[in-house]
Chains A and B, each alone.
Chain A
Amino acid sequence: KAGVTQTPRYLIKTRGQQVTLSCSPISGHRSVSWYQQTPGQGLQFLFEYFSETQRNKGNFPGRFSGRQFSNSRSEMNVSTLELGDSALYLCASSLVLSGGAGETQYFGPGTRLLVL
């Protein structure tokens, strides 16, 4: 079974630009979550999508947005990039992240974004 894939793997942008990152979950998984990892901050939850609906959002500014398509693929978008947005962005998929059963999330390799 193919794992979670993310594209692109590396990206360099300049301040003020916008960026779109893509995540393809494991086949059959319907929940996709996004996390940001920066040095010293650990993995911070951005948002989670299930059946094309955002079910939860972390404490990030409105410049961070996402969506999920009918095939469960997900994209996240960051508009008006700031230097502090430089980070590793990970997505994770699970069958149905019910929040009750301790279901495992499977992570992709991440997209490393550098904002200059």
Chain B
Amino acid sequence: ILNVEQSPQSLHVQEGDSTNFTCSFPSSNFYALHWYRWETAKSPEALFVMTLNGDEKKKGRISATLNTKEGYSYLYIKGSQPEDSATYLCAFPVQGAQKLVFGQGTRLTINP
């Protein structure tokens, strides 16, 4: 059974602070990792697709890094804003199976 784990499960951060959280995945047979942001009452929105070891992606104040050898990815948010409040999901595509295996998500709440 393929396990994708995220930590922490929830996080409360003061507005303006920076934060980060982790996604752990199987390091064997890796070829991609997805990050999604899911705001309440909206659709999950794709943030990044990461494919190379050492990859670093950035979108505004959000960035992500990837270590495929040890099987983890970090998502960083710099200078958190209330609109960053969401659940952040990572997902691991299963090769040859046309499906994504999702972690449980990190629920981020930004306190004004």
Contacts and interface: CB of A to CB of B under 8 A. Distances in A.
Contact of B44 (A31, A55, A90, A101): A90
Interface in A75-107: 90, 92, 97-107
A62 interface: no
A45 B99 contact: yes
Interface size, B (range): 20 to 34
Given A42-B103, A104-B34, A99 B43 contact: no
Interface in A6-65: 31, 33, 35, 42-43, 45, 48, 50, 55-56, 58
A36 to B, nearest CB: 11
A48 B99 contact: yes
A66 interface: no
B102 A109 contact: no
Contacts of A106: 43, 46
A102 B99 contact: no
A4 B42 CA distance: 12
Interface of B: 31-34, 36, 42-46, 49-51, 89, 91, 93-105
